[in-house]
Structure 1
Amino acid sequence: MRHSLPTVPQFYVTAPQPCPYLPGRMERKLFTALQGDHSEAMNDKLSQQGFRRSQNVLYRPSCADCAACLSARIRVADFTPSRSQRRVIKRNAYLQRDVASAWATEDQYALFRRYLDHRHTHGGMADMDVFEFSAMVEETPVRTRVLEYRDAALGPNGPLVAACLSDVLDDGLSLVYSFFDPELSDQSLGSYMILDQIELARRVGLPFVYLGYWVPGSPKMDYKARFSALEVYHQGEWQVLDSPERFSGTRHPLSVQPIAEQVAQLALPSDVGGPVSIPPGKAKL
């Protein structure tokens, strides 16, 4: 007997665990699997509604008493670098960008390990081995690219100093994960990779660069608010981040919609049939 994958996406909710951004908070995620012929269309459509991809899963924060995590993206046509960002571009002009398929290499993993060992020793990825790293890069059902940045001053095969894993959406580039040489922290390589992808999106005619989540009140996320033409997905629509203080109320328990309502309001690609659903017993409302 042949079995086929379900054509209607099923949504699930993770168990609560400590929030990595706001002390004393618990995080929970709403997620669905990316599978079958509609993976790219699902990634495109749900990314426009605040979801992010991790391997073959799309997820969005759905915490019980907090809605602080807001998906952020830059409008490429309206972006203008600040004076400090222009200095970052100039400072890293010696780097050569190479775009490759989603294939993990020894160079990438060695750089990734140095990055984690110096900057994220207690994070959830701190113990990731080479096989898990390869899975993070290669297990993708959508259009994904690895952008490598090498020291061109030392030749075309200069050392790898930064890398970024990005999805190519129908309306933009979505930064999945980036890492860089921790000994070059004063180069602002994290910001430089965002600036470079804005320029790359501009060249190929894509209107947005998706940055992941911005969290008001989290110091580690403050840098995202420094980019002009930034907007966040809030209350079912993209809103201009004109004043970060305007979104501080998203940390209030009454700002959270029940999960069933969140799922019911999702828009899916036109060729994905049927309403979205939550399997019985899988969600806490």
Structure 2
Amino acid sequence: MQEHPLRWFITAPQACPYLDDREMQSLLVDPAVSLGGHRYGQLLGEGFRRSGQYVYRHHCPNCTACVPVRIPVRVFRPNRSQRRCLTLNHDVTVTLTRPPDQAGPGPAADLDEHMPLFSRYLSSRHAGGGMEQMGREDYAGMLSHRNGPVDLIEFRHTDRLIAVAITDRTPQGLSAMYSFFDPDQPRRGLGTLAVLTQIAHARRLGLPYVYLGYWIDQAPKMEYKTRFQPLEGRVDGAWERLAASR
């Protein structure tokens, strides 16, 4: 079946949320178009990312600070710190679920169980940024899109939900779209555990990459991404290895 040509939109300039002295623009795929998993996966390979219903790539005329990054699954090996994280969380149970409106194998997630943890995480990590006002309908919208299946990876300790990883699945790889976790358990390294679990999930599925979105060298909150080695970044239209953080 022949693919229909895509329509593109460019957002108006706005203040960059990552670098205080910059403006940001994004190139958007027409959100009314159903891409399908294969086409969406191709766009991931070209540096695109999903946020809710929007598939986009930053398109800033005077800045190239945002670098799309991905982990090549076949050659990834956890470092000492990441192995400690896995050992520390040996008592965590991992369950693969799906959004309630998505057909497929496995149990449907209980969004009412997710919401208290999601709200606590947003209040802790995104206070004052607008995201803390997101309700159940907004959250459900993050999980429902037209571009292929979404896997929800749930983490529990003694039957209590402590983390969720929202993962887009395509034939070309997984995209770590968003994760949230108990902000009162920093020692567990639940963000690291979520990425390691998605890498393991991709390996089981025989998928080559886990896409981590954007990395910015000048943004300390993104430094953790370079701890997953080897890591590839898309620079000047081509993927290349990035150095580990110091």
| TM-score using structure 2 length | 0.90
Larger Rg: 1
Cα distance in structure 1, aligned partners of 2:234 and 2:35: 23
Task: Give deviations 1:162-218, integer Å, cap 9, x for gaps.
Answer: 001101111211111100000112211001110111112112211111111111110
The runs of 5 or more residues in structure 2 that have no matched partner are 101-109
Amino acid aligned to 1:139: H
Please report how far the alpha carbon of residue 127 of structure 1 lies from its aligned counterpart in structure 2 after TM superposition: 1.6
Give the structure 2 partner of residue 112 of structure 1: 118
1:46 aligns with 2:47: no
Amino acid aligned to 1:237: A
- 2:6 aligned to which of 4, 9, 21: 9
1:231 aligns with 2:237: no
SS of the residue 1:116 aligns to: helix
Does the CA contact (< 8 Å) of 1:76 and 1:229 recur in 2? no
SS of the residue 1:63 aligns to: coil
Task: Give deviations 1:130-151, integer Å, cap 9, x for gaps.
Answer: 2111111223441111111111
Cα distance in structure 1, aligned partners of 2:231 and 2:70: 6
Please report how far the alpha carbon of residue 34 of structure 1 lies from its aligned counterpart in structure 2 after TM superposition: 4.8
Does the CA contact (< 8 Å) of 2:151 and 2:169 recur in 1? yes
Q: 1:114 to 1:148 in 2, by over 3 A?
A: same
Amino acid aligned to 2:42: K
Please report how far the alpha carbon of residue 227 of structure 1 lies from its aligned counterpart in structure 2 after TM superposition: 1.0
Task: Give deviations 1:85-120, integer Å, cap 9, x for gaps.
Answer: 110111111111111112361111111100011111
Cα distance in structure 2, aligned partners of 1:68 and 1:244: 16
| TM-score using structure 1 length | 0.78
The runs of 5 or more residues in structure 1 that have no matched partner are 1-5, 246-285
Please report how far the alpha carbon of residue 56 of structure 1 lies from its aligned counterpart in structure 2 after TM superposition: 3.0
Give the structure 2 partner of residue 160 of structure 1: 161
1:134 aligns with 2:140: yes
Cα distance in structure 2, aligned partners of 1:91 and 1:230: 24
Please report how far the alpha carbon of residue 33 of structure 1 lies from its aligned counterpart in structure 2 after TM superposition: 2.6
Equivalent residue pairs, number: 235
SS of the residue 1:182 aligns to: coil
- 2:55 aligned to which of 54, 58, 69: 58
| Percent identity for Structure 1 against Structure 2 | 37
Give the structure 2 partner of residue 97 of structure 1: 94
Cα distance in structure 1, aligned partners of 2:144 and 2:14: 27
RMSD: 1.9
Task: Give deviations 1:7-52, integer Å, cap 9, x for gaps.
Answer: 2211111111211111211111101135556422221111000001
Cα distance in structure 2, aligned partners of 1:24 and 1:46: 29
Give the structure 1 partner of residue 214 of structure 2: 213
Spell out the pairing of 1:54-93 with structure 2 (5 A cutoff): 54-93=51-90
Cα distance in structure 2, aligned partners of 1:10 and 1:119: 34
SS of the residue 1:80 aligns to: coil
SS of the residue 1:126 aligns to: helix
Q: 1:141 to 1:202 in 2, by over 3 A?
A: closer
Amino acid aligned to 1:131: E
Cα distance in structure 2, aligned partners of 1:105 and 1:184: 21
Task: Give deviations 1:248-281, integer Å, cap 9, x for gaps.
Answer: xxxxxxxxxxxxxxxxxxxxxxxxxxxxxxxxxx
Give the structure 2 partner of residue 22 of structure 1: 19
Cα distance in structure 2, aligned partners of 1:15 and 1:36: 21
Amino acid aligned to 1:178: S
Amino acid aligned to 2:203: R
Give the structure 2 partner of residue 267 of structure 1: none
